[in-house]
Chains A and B, each alone.
Chain A
Amino acid sequence: MLRRRATIVLLTALALTACSAPGSDKKAAGDDSGPIKIALVDAQSGQLSSLGAWELKGAKLAVDEWNAQGGINGRQIQLDVFDDQGDPTVGTNLARKIDSEGYIGMIGTAESAVTIAMAPTLKQAEIPNICSGQSPGLVAVGSEFLFLNGPTSTTYDETLAKYIVDGQGIKNIAMITNNGSYGKGEHDAFLKALKARNVTPLADQVVTTDQKDFSAALTGIRQKNPKVIFLGAEEVESGLIVKQARDLGITATFAGAAPQGTPVFLDTAGAKNAEGTIVSSPYLSNDISEASKKFAAAYLAKYNEAAELHGAKAYDGAQIMLTALKSSNVATGKELADAIRATKYQGLLGGFAYDKTGVGIFATSIGTIKDGKLVAASS
């Protein structure tokens, strides 16, 4: 009996220490010693893992540059990677984990749905997060700790609609989007941009994020004979749609935002099938500026592969986070969030100046795919 009571006492003591552990950890991180802990949360496995891999490469490049120059206030920056598998549920668990383990900032994720799921926990824990999503839903969350490292779908699609409808005078447009967080955002943003121009899409097909066969949707679109088909889906799915569309004899030009400018999209669709695709992107190529050339060279040297948009975005995001950490003398919580908001940064994507919604950049350019490469559109 005595022994059992002793066990209970011991267990209670254990439980108590276990409960108090996260809080005490966090205080330790606020100390002025040891490395500055930043978490990178992205899909490192699953269908969206290519996004996660690019993000990691871009962010790591920025962190390594800072560390090579002696870090911030003499402290090295420690970038730890967490795999969210592109799954919001895994994401919310990770949000609690990075809070309890005392990370003071977070880079990622590339998936709007995951970021939106993580946002409430991060807001409560006061951990600033610079994410790579572009869904307007990110802004709708209304967290002062959530920042985007690029424009939202609204900007992407407004620029795209302006080019296609106003510039080229094309009004026969069909849409095919998926019902995920990204696709839904694209659907609403592009439809809104079309409506503002009094254009009604000939077809508005929605597919699931997991779909593999698009015969029904594409045959429906083919009968409407559009000149341009708007794509609102991630890299691989967009590539499959384009490939199957060409097999079905659809010759229309495709148009889309960030995913349609990536190598994965090109490979999946096949360069010949993707030829002529119109892309709205804040980072068309590695040759647009001196900064991008330098970034691309460093990226190539480090990873032995060509840099692209997502790596560049993550690089910008990480630079902004680190710049804010430096300007605020390694502040945490709300102070760090305010420092990020105050940061004016000339990045690879352009000039960042954050507004209240956490968006820092409001412009994209139009490019087209020519001979398997994304080049600036001549208009």
Chain B
Amino acid sequence: MQVFLQTIVGGVSLGAVYALVALGFSLVYRTMGLVNFAHGNVVTVGAYLASTFYLSSKLPFALAMVIAIGVTGAIGLVIERVLRPLENRDFDLMLIGTIGFGIVLDALIIMIWGATGRAVPSPVPSAPIDVFGLRIRTYDLVVLAIAAVATVLLVLFLSRTKRGAAMQAVAMDHEAATAVGIHVGRSNAIAFMIGAGLAALAGGLVGPLLYVSPALGGALGIKGFAAAILGGFGSIPGAIVGGIAIGILDSFAAGHFQGYSELVTFLVFTVIIMIRPTGVFGERTVNRA
């Protein structure tokens, strides 16, 4: 029983990070119908920026995170601006464009920070909480809380603000949205910016849990992508559920199948997707591809 519960605890904390990565994927997809393949690399950039401000500039962790999110958001804007001429012209080119951006970012990371990674000490140094023999890291609770707040803010932005409503409109029908005077390009830019900001949030938060290296985003990107698909690509609650689900699934597979855990995780994932191709919250708001 203890192993069971501890496995869930371990899975949920990484699951929260996968969920944040999945949110970024989904937000861009629901707005533009585009899978941003550079997203994983943006996560790495965010992780490096946050750890640089935190370790080298000695800023408080929270401030380092905010600056990293800002800078990474700006990178998101650049990516969207470069890709904008391709929109509505050739979608495949745009997809390949994001892959290209991923490679460029990867190379830039190695040029700036080197190929060797860095360990980030936990900003919450207190000992884990012991609940009936179950150990819960205090930092995990911080990660969960921040992920929850970020999700709530995102949902409020999309449903309560004019800009958010405009983005929803673009997601539903971009031609109709243009007709009523919504600037589709700007809407896409904001989606990319928030997506990149979420990536930085995920990368920055995961730094103290893992090890910041150029390969970080690759692993998180794949799991985050799988999480977004599992929850229903483009769905905000789906990204959250998918992320936590992949985290827990991964944890249990690791416990029971040891060396074959990765295989089992993705087999289960494939079976679920075969049964429910649209994912758990498959709403399909977008079909522009």
Distance (whole angstroms) from the CB of A228 to the closest CB of chain B: 20
Please give me the residue from chain B that is nearest to A183 by CB atom.
B259
Chain A CB within 8 A of B137 CB: yes
Please pick, from A53, A217, A240, A268, the residue contacting B254 in the complex, using a CB distance under 8 A.
Answer: A217
Please pick, from A49, A179, A270, the residue contacting B116 in the complex, using a CB distance under 8 A.
Answer: A49
Residues facing A in B16-60 (CB within 8 A) are: none
Q: How large is the interface on B (under 10, 10 to 19, 20 to 34, 35 or more residues)?
A: 35 or more
B11 and A248: CB pair below 8 A?
no
Please pick, from B213, B256, B261, the residue contacting A236 in the complex, using a CB distance under 8 A.
Answer: B213
Contact of A47 with B117 at beta-carbon distance under 8 Å, contacts A212-B210, A248-B128 already known: yes
Please give me the residue from chain A that is nearest to B8 by CB atom.
A215
Chain B CB within 8 A of A211 CB: yes
0 or 1 for each of A299-338: is its CB under 8 Å from B? (1 = yes): 0000000000000000000000000000000000000000
Contact of A215 with B258 at beta-carbon distance under 8 Å, contacts A46-B214, A53-B114, A236-B213 already known: no
Please give me the residue from chain B that is nearest to A85 by CB atom.
B215
A207 and B254: CB pair below 8 A?
yes
Please give me the residue from chain A that is nearest to B9 by CB atom.
A215
Bound: A264/B14 CA distance, A: 22
Bound: A178/B259 CA distance, A: 7
Please pick, from A179, A219, A239, A247, the residue contacting B128 in the complex, using a CB distance under 8 A.
Answer: A247
Please pick, from B121, B211, B247, B258, the residue contacting A217 in the complex, using a CB distance under 8 A.
Answer: B258
A267 and B118: CB pair below 8 A?
yes
0 or 1 for each of A259-281: is its CB under 8 Å from B? (1 = yes): 00000100110100000000000
Please give me the residue from chain B that is nearest to A269 by CB atom.
B119
Chain A CB within 8 A of B251 CB: yes
Please pick, from B110, B115, B130, B261, the residue contacting A208 in the complex, using a CB distance under 8 A.
Answer: B261
B10 and A214: CB pair below 8 A?
yes
Please pick, from A49, A205, A215, the residue contacting B213 in the complex, using a CB distance under 8 A.
Answer: A49
A50 and B117: CB pair below 8 A?
yes
Distance (whole angstroms) from the CB of B246 to the closest CB of chain A: 11
Chain B CB within 8 A of A115 CB: no
Bound: A268/B116 CA distance, A: 12
B254 and A214: CB pair below 8 A?
yes
A216 and B252: CB pair below 8 A?
yes
Please pick, from B121, B137, B247, the residue contacting A247 in the complex, using a CB distance under 8 A.
Answer: B137
Within 8 Å CB of A240, what residues of B? 210-211
Please pick, from B11, B13, B116, the residue contacting A53 in the complex, using a CB distance under 8 A.
Answer: B116
Chain A CB within 8 A of B88 CB: no
Within 8 Å CB of A43, what residues of B? 115
Bound: A248/B140 CA distance, A: 13
Residues facing B in A204-227 (CB within 8 A) are: 205-208, 210-217, 219-220, 223
Contact of A219 with B7 at beta-carbon distance under 8 Å, contacts A49-B116, A249-B135 already known: yes
B219 and A207: CB pair below 8 A?
no
Chain A CB within 8 A of B262 CB: yes
Residues facing B in A28-85 (CB within 8 A) are: 43-47, 49-50, 52-53
Most central of B106, B210, B219 by chain A CB within 10 Å: B210
B137 and A216: CB pair below 8 A?
no
Bound: A101/B60 CA distance, A: 51
Contact of A220 with B3 at beta-carbon distance under 8 Å, contacts A214-B10, A215-B11, A248-B128 already known: yes
Distance (whole angstroms) from the CB of A218 to the closest CB of chain B: 8
B255 and A50: CB pair below 8 A?
no
Chain A CB within 8 A of B6 CB: yes
30 contacts between A and B (CB under 8 A): A49-B116, A49-B117, A50-B115, A50-B117, A52-B115, A206-B259, A207-B258, A208-B259, A208-B261, A211-B262, A213-B11, A213-B247, A213-B254, A214-B10, A215-B7, A215-B9, A215-B11, A217-B258, A219-B2, A220-B3, A236-B211, A236-B213, A239-B211, A240-B210, A247-B128, A247-B137, A248-B6, A248-B128, A249-B135, A264-B117
Beyond contacts A212-B210, A247-B135: 14 other A-B pairs, Cβ-Cβ < 8 A, are A44-B110, A44-B115, A45-B215, A49-B115, A207-B261, A212-B14, A213-B13, A216-B10, A217-B258, A219-B2, A240-B211, A249-B128, A267-B119, A270-B119
